[in-house]
Chains A and B, each alone.
Chain A
């Protein structure tokens, strides 16, 4: 075994990391930590060193943190070549070459795909091009939005009440801007957290002073003669006058550059096996290539091997590190099985989640209560715990993460002396969104 391991261990050659954000950086560090001593190149389409995104919808908008201050700490010496401000445009797996937008190519022995995702734009390009219409994904987006908010536009319209939309709404209220938040779902975050929790989020935003309009859509945006957005016409016929629009309709995975590479990659992400190797269109792993972060779609062992692509900070770290070890030959045949987890903070409330709520058929308020403003909701599917979400009760979550990993029966941990009787509710997820 020892000699086989030694053969497998990848200590030389050229490893190329495409995508210079959290997953790519942590992947590159893990490669070095695992003993990779060859040449290392990181490619990023933005001109910036890897930076942290979570502050961009919160403290960077309120002005507490400058967007350019969010550069990520580098936690292990990289000795890398950085190719920043130049996107990868193609992959030739036969020649083992990555093509870049400046016409150059990089040959690789090992490749980490960590190109992440981008903000979905407003579907009408003319309306999307109006001045005052923003999306928020990168540091430059945050700087532009902060700059647009700073002189004090009175009214902000946010399209989409997912996590980014809700966080931006709360940040704009902290700046005392009038905020309208529009979403076709029955309540904010209902698609992820279900309707009962969505109603609590709705109440939170109403208490912040957000004008929340659920179950409706923006039909079109209108500009003035100067090409600046001035109003939105809703499908229900209502008109919302506005000075600024933030389009928060989720993310699109950056896989276009892989077309023609023979990898199984598309809008759903780069399809990977359990270990994290990218699969070709015949389903065969390319052992020279791994993917990590938002862009990777992989079968999650904690959720019956269901293919998932997770847009979570902690996932980018954990899967990036896993992919780095994999490419260094240290994690061969080890499945990636990190428990999904994320957080959000909105109006001073911290929402945290472990597991995945998708497919839940039941839920209970397991600790605390919405009345207290602090509680834990546990989600179940087919009699097992699959996810837990806390509002200002993060210290309970690790215990539930263990229950989820153990596929413990649902409802969870019954009969505690501090527990009330658990009422099983239906999560009432809205139907999948087909268009914005």
Chain B
């Protein structure tokens, strides 16, 4: 089913979610993908749930650098993880 929130010819964004039960605010994602992950206060991680596909490499860096492996990414152009 096409996502109705997108114009038909746009590249679909990545889909990101972080298990914030797991997250312990090591902030490695904030260094790997600044602008897509940011800490508010000491431990409150805010993240962009729909980064543009052009941020693919930075998001992948963030995913693999997470010490507690809390980041899940779906890349519509590849199979989801």
Which residues of A pack against B, CB within 8 Å? Answer: 49, 52, 54-55, 58-59, 64-66, 68-77, 82, 84, 313-314, 317, 341-343, 345, 347-350, 352, 374, 392, 394-395
Bound-complex Cα distance A72 to B14 (A): 10
| Contact of A73 (CB < 8 Å), options: B17, B21, B42, B44 | B17
Bound-complex Cα distance A58 to B72 (A): 20
| Contact of B80 (CB < 8 Å), options: A49, A52, A73 | A73
> Is A349 touching B41 in the complex (CB atoms < 8 A)?
yes
Bound-complex Cα distance A59 to B72 (A): 19
Bound-complex Cα distance A183 to B81 (A): 42
B31 within 8 A of A: no
B55 within 8 A of A: no
Contact mask for chain B residues 42-58; partner A; CB cutoff 8 A; 1 contact, 0 none: 11101011100000000
Interface residues on chain B, size class: 20 to 34
> 8 closest A-B pairs (Cβ-Cβ)?
A348-B41, A73-B74, A73-B15, A350-B43, A345-B44, A69-B50, A314-B21, A341-B21
Bound-complex Cα distance A130 to B17 (A): 35
Set of chain B residues within 8 Å of A317, measured between Cβ atoms: 19
> Is B41 touching A392 in the complex (CB atoms < 8 A)?
yes
Known A65-B48, A71-B3: A374·B80 in contact at CB below 8 Å: no
Chain B, residue nearest A341 (CB): B21
From residue B6, how far is it (CB to closest CB) to chain A in Å?
10
> Is A75 touching B41 in the complex (CB atoms < 8 A)?
no
Set of chain A residues within 8 Å of B73, measured between Cβ atoms: 73
> Is B16 touching A394 in the complex (CB atoms < 8 A)?
no
| Contact of A394 (CB < 8 Å), options: B1, B13, B24, B40 | B24
> Is A75 touching B74 in the complex (CB atoms < 8 A)?
yes
> Is A350 touching B42 in the complex (CB atoms < 8 A)?
yes
| Contact of B43 (CB < 8 Å), options: A64, A66, A72, A392 | A392
> Is B21 touching A313 in the complex (CB atoms < 8 A)?
yes
Bound-complex Cα distance A392 to B44 (A): 8
Known A71-B3, A71-B49, A349-B44: A395·B24 in contact at CB below 8 Å: yes
> Is B3 touching A49 in the complex (CB atoms < 8 A)?
yes
Question: Which of A72, A82, A347 has most B Cβ within 10 Å?
Answer: A72
From residue B64, how far is it (CB to closest CB) to chain A in Å?
15
> Is A59 touching B46 in the complex (CB atoms < 8 A)?
yes
> Is B5 touching A68 in the complex (CB atoms < 8 A)?
yes
From residue A293, how far is it (CB to closest CB) to chain B in Å?
15
Bound-complex Cα distance A348 to B45 (A): 9
| Contact of A392 (CB < 8 Å), options: B14, B42, B46 | B42
Chain B, residue nearest A76 (CB): B80
Bound-complex Cα distance A144 to B81 (A): 32
Chain A, residue nearest B72 (CB): A73
Chain B, residue nearest A68 (CB): B5
Chain A, residue nearest B51 (CB): A69
| Contact of B74 (CB < 8 Å), options: A55, A64, A74 | A74
Set of chain A residues within 8 Å of B16, measured between Cβ atoms: 73
From residue A201, how far is it (CB to closest CB) to chain B in Å?
15
> Is B81 touching A75 in the complex (CB atoms < 8 A)?
yes
Chain A, residue nearest B68 (CB): A398
Can you name 7 A-B pairs with beta carbons within 8 Å?
Answer: A52-B17, A65-B49, A69-B49, A72-B17, A75-B74, A75-B80, A76-B80
Chain B, residue nearest A353 (CB): B21
Contact residues, B1-25 vs A (CB, 8 A) = 1, 3, 5, 13-17, 19-21, 23-25
Set of chain A residues within 8 Å of B46, measured between Cβ atoms: 58-59, 64-65
> Is B41 touching A71 in the complex (CB atoms < 8 A)?
no
From residue B52, how far is it (CB to closest CB) to chain A in Å?
11
